[in-house]
């Protein structure tokens, strides 16, 4: 093996490990489905930053490096409720860039500590305003001093869906040998669904694209937006998906807990919501191959209501007190 080939195999940096995440067959939680219906999870917590957000954030930064919008003298800035912020902080650390983030005050302690570990500068916005409040706050900072920052603007930057168009969509198609019939993903920035969905519709026009969102604006499914009551991302095109499924917060939490106990998959509440949506799709089928995106793992939510017992939630603030938090 040549030295160059060996380096490619070993990986030159942690960023080389972004993408090519595994596709996992779900067995026990789907046991009541027709035998010709298969459900697979795209396990995005295998990315080095622990979430699907590594893909678009890397693309946002590297596209801006190439076209000159970002130079190392400027500070990378964006809003996030967790995962995108961690991706910015990780990639900034690798590349030697300064990163400034606006995050809702009520994000989990785990995510705050991860951001601190990677050296990001964090400003906290009003927790009652959720991710929309963080969006407005970061816009104000950029307007006050535009030359100081490169604003990643993940909710409106076309590099976000392009990352999924070029990686997530083709990966899913190849991993299922082109057999995929339905692609299910949650709506946050909408980059995953828009980018991967667009590519999958090109690769297989019969493939159904299914969006999942919370059932109301007041919810506790971090990472997802209820589009009718939120600042709608500029990336979002409702004409792309064939179906949109609303999911209750309680159903998302219950499904995340079931995935841990029945499949051994420790995932976040947005994965629980996506899985609940995928099962709604699956129950209408006689046969099919469903791929559902699991955006992140559950270890960064261990201190949140997701893993409290129902009794603890009833005594405390309750799952809906996390409000319309959107982890992107």
Q: Are 191 and 163 in contact (CB under 8 A)?
A: yes
Q: Are 292 and 275 in contact (CB under 8 A)?
A: yes
Two structure tokens written together for 274: 């996506």
The question of whether 53 is a catalytic residue gets the answer: yes
141 vs 266: CA distance, rounded Å: 36
Residue by residue, DSSP assigns 209-255 as EEEEEESSSS---TT---GGGS---TT--TTS-SEEEEE-HHHHHHH
What does the radius of gyration of the chain's CA atoms come to, in whole angstroms? 19
Phi–psi pair at 208, nearest 5 degrees: -90, 130
For residue 282, the surrounding DSSP H or E stretch is helix 269-282
Q: Residue holding tokens 């799952």?
A: 319
Other CB atoms within 10 Å distance of the CB of residue 211 = 26
Q: Which of 53, 159, 190, 225 is catalytic?
A: 53
Could you tell me which residues come within 8 angstroms of residue 174 by beta carbon, excluding any fewer than 6 positions away?
Answer: none
Q: Which of 79, 80, 190, 270 is catalytic?
A: 270
Residues pairing with 297 in the sheet: 267
Residues recognised as catalytic = 53, 270
């Amino acid at each position: 093996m040549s030295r160059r080939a060996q380096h490619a195999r070993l990986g030159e940096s942690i960023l080389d490990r972004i993408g090519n995440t595994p596709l996992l067959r779900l067995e026990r939680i789907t046991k009541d489905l027709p035998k010709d219906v298969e459900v697979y999870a795209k396990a995005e917590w295998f990315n080095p930053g622990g979430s699907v957000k590594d893909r678009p954030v890397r693309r946002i930064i590297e596209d801006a490096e190439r076209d000159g919008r970002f130079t190392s003298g400027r500070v990378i800035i964006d809003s996030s409720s967790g995962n995108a912020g961690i991706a910015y902080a990780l990639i900034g650390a690798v590349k030697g860039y300064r990163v400034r983030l606006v995050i809702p005050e009520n994000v989990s302690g785990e995510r705050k500590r991860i951001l601190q570990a990677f050296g990001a500068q964090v400003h906290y916005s009003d927790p009652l305003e959720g991710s929309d409040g963080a969006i407005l706050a970061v816009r104000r900072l950029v307007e006050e001093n535009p030359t100081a920052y490169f604003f990643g603007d993940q909710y409106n930057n076309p590099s976000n869906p392009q990352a999924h168009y070029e990686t997530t969509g083709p990966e899913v198609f190849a991993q299922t040998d082109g057999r995929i019939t339905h692609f299910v993903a949650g709506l946050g920035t909408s980059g995953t669904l828009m980018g991967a969905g667009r590519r999958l519709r090109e690769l297989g026009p019969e493939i159904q694209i299914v969006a999942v969102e919370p059932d109301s604006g007041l919810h506790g499914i971090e990472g997802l937006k209820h589009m009718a009551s939120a600042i709608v991302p500029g990336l979002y095109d409702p004409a792309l998906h064939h179906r949109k499924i609303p999911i209750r917060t309680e159903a998302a939490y219950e499904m995340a807990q079931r995935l841990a106990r029945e499949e051994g998959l420790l995932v976040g509440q947005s994965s629980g919501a996506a899985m609940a949506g995928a099962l709604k799709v699956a129950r209408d089928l006689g046969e099919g191959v469903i791929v559902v995106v699991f955006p992140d793992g559950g270890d960064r939510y261990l201190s949140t209501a997701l893993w409290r017992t129902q009794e603890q939630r009833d005594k405390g603030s309750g799952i809906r007190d996390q409000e319309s938090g959107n982890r992107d």
